[in-house]
Amino acid sequence: MSKTLFAKDALLPTGWRRNVLLSWDDAGRLTQVQPDAVAPRDAPVSAGPLIPGMPNLHSHAFQRAFGGLTEFRGAAQDSFWSWRTLMYRFAAQISPAQVEAIATWLYIEMLEAGYSAVCEFHYLHHAPDGTPYVDDAELALALLRAAERTGIGLTLLPVLYQTSGFGGLPPNEGQRRFIRATDSMLRLLERLRPLCEAQGARLGLAPHSLRAVPPEGLREALAGLDAIDATAPVHIHIAEQTAEVDACLAWSGQRPVAWLLDHAEVDARWCLVHATHMDAAEYRRAAASGAVAGLCPTTEANLGDGIFDFGAWRGAGGRWGVGSDSHACVNAAEELMMLEYSQRLATRQRNVGADAGEPSVASAMTLAAVQGGAQASGRAVAGLAPGQQADFVVLDAAHPSLAGLSAADMLSAHVFASHRSSAVDTVWVAGRPRVSAGRHPLHSQAAAAFIAARTQLLTTP
Ligand SMILES: [Zn+2]
């Protein structure tokens, strides 16, 4: 297979460039990204503009199976917490084979929608009755197989979950499949590490949240992780809900982000997932830590979480990326659109995500989200530059919304005006085409297996 591609237009970390020649090595790492090049006679030419593949920094794969099933009013006032009750009911019965079928289909949807990598925040560990599987890594292995089969890049983040609330409240019945003692988690990480390495996946750790991990569990787990891999990524859900902020204040006298910054060495390894509810000092301090804000705009909108103050975060130099979280929507472009629109509605301004160096909001947001997503992934997937993985997306230049536009405007149309009809043509991961003409080769087969798994789940009493 050829290891070069010539693109008339490509979005490099420095912006749009013309006549770009890309080359990569056998491992799928870019060795050359040369703008203003002359196309070699035998080099394949990209059919449309090239943009970097988007790392999806936050996913709970199994949640894909109940998309659309929580969109009705169950109580006088539905909230994140009533949604969670339904999610727990679903999580209680799902089998390893069903997890694998759902994740396989989900990762194909991600690839077809412009994501080239995913950070899997994996908290379903045990059998439905809460006892460990004979192989304690059973469900993690199902996710590894799904990633391997589909070709998506993976950062696997086994989740530490120990309590049901601040102050060490014992876990409830709905959480029995999630619970692990710290030493059990460290043994799981030891078991998974060589398996991840063998398939080019990165292993990290996700303390679920401050309400689910008490201070000593957090401290011991992070020390244990450091002993295994001192640069491994660490992700945590934080300040997603105002009720969580209130509970943290009642417990500690501090808001969650402030507490975390005071009690853990939060740095560039960290991804603060959501971080929706921060005060001005928390925005400044969290941004200065170098951590990535893991924004999940469509899920946050779906769950009624609140609106992240993107202006305050960027003003403080904060890094950020996007994730599809509950998978209410699986589309890299649409997360950027939702983020930008939330800010337009909140601030009554337009093109909030643009910056001085890049006036096109879709281009600026794509570049920033790829950088932040790569940092949160702990993998070399930071865009079209030598040393990074050859992960890129070719936009469909013949799509009616894009045809005839400049490359930058094509990306704008892809993000803001393609009306959810995919303008993704080809997706390459580590120098291999995984999606061609908008379709993954396993699309139909994986869709059928997903539908069968969901039907089983819905018909199980
Ligand atoms: Zn989440």
Q: How far is the CA of 215 from the centre of ligand 1 (A)?
A: 20
Query: Domain extents for the chain?
Result: 4-51+386-444, 53-377
Centre of ligand 1 to C-alpha 24, Å, is: 34
The Cα–Cα gap between 442 and 434 comes to 10
Q: Which residues surround ligand 1, an ion (CB under 5 A)?
A: 325
* DSSP state string for 225-274: HHHH-TT--EEEEES-SHHHHHHHHHHHSS-HHHHHHHHS---TTEEEEE
Contact 212, 121 (CB under 8 A): no
Ligand 1 centre to CA of 209 (Å) is 10
Contact (CB, 8 A) for 312 and 283: yes
What is the per-residue pLDDT across 244-255, written as a single tens digit (0 to 9) for each?
A: 999 999 999 999
Q: What is the pLDDT of residue 2?
A: 66
311-336 confidence digits (pLDDT tens): 999 999 999 999 999 999 999 999 99
Neighbours of 69 (CB within 10 A): 13
Mean pLDDT is lowest, of 68-77, 350-359, 452-461, for: 68-77
Among 3.40.50.720, 1.10.600.10, 2.30.40.10, 3.40.720.10, name the CATH number for the domain at 4-51+386-444.
Answer: 2.30.40.10
Q: Is the pLDDT of residue 460 over 80?
A: no
Query: In this structure, what token pair is assigned to residue 148?
Result: 């391997």
The 10s digit of each residue's pLDDT in 397-430 is 999 999 999 999 999 999 999 887 889 999 999 9
Let me know: does 369 contact 114? Beta carbons within 8 Å.
no
- Least confident span in 87-91, 291-295, 441-445: 87-91
From CA 282, how far away is CA 265, in angstroms rounded? 15
Ligand 1 centre and the CA of 42: distance in Å?
46
Q: Find out whether 269 and 378 touch, Cβ atoms under 8 Å.
A: yes
CATH topology of domain 53-377: TIM Barrel (3.20.20)
Q: Is the pLDDT of residue 345 over 90?
A: yes
Percent of the chain topping pLDDT 70: 99
Across the chain, mean pLDDT equals 96
Is pLDDT at 76 greater than 70 in this prediction?
Answer: no
121 C-alpha vs ligand 1 centroid, how far in Å? 7
pLDDT at 24: 98
Residue-wise pLDDT for 7-35, tens only, equals 999 999 999 999 999 999 999 999 999 99
* Distance in angstroms between the alpha carbons of the first and the last residue of the chain: 50
- What is the CA(328)–ligand 1 centre distance, in A? 12
pLDDT at 208: 98
As given in the structure block, the two tokens for residue 197 are 């390495």
Residue 338 Cα, ligand 1 centroid: separation in angstroms? 17
Tell me the longest C-alpha to C-alpha distance in the chain.
68
Question: The tokens of 296 are what?
Answer: 């999940």
User: Taking 80 as the threshold, does the pLDDT of residue 79 lie above it?
Assistant: no
Which residues are known to be catalytic? 274, 325
Nearest C-alpha neighbor of 8 from the set 418, 332, 410, 421: 410
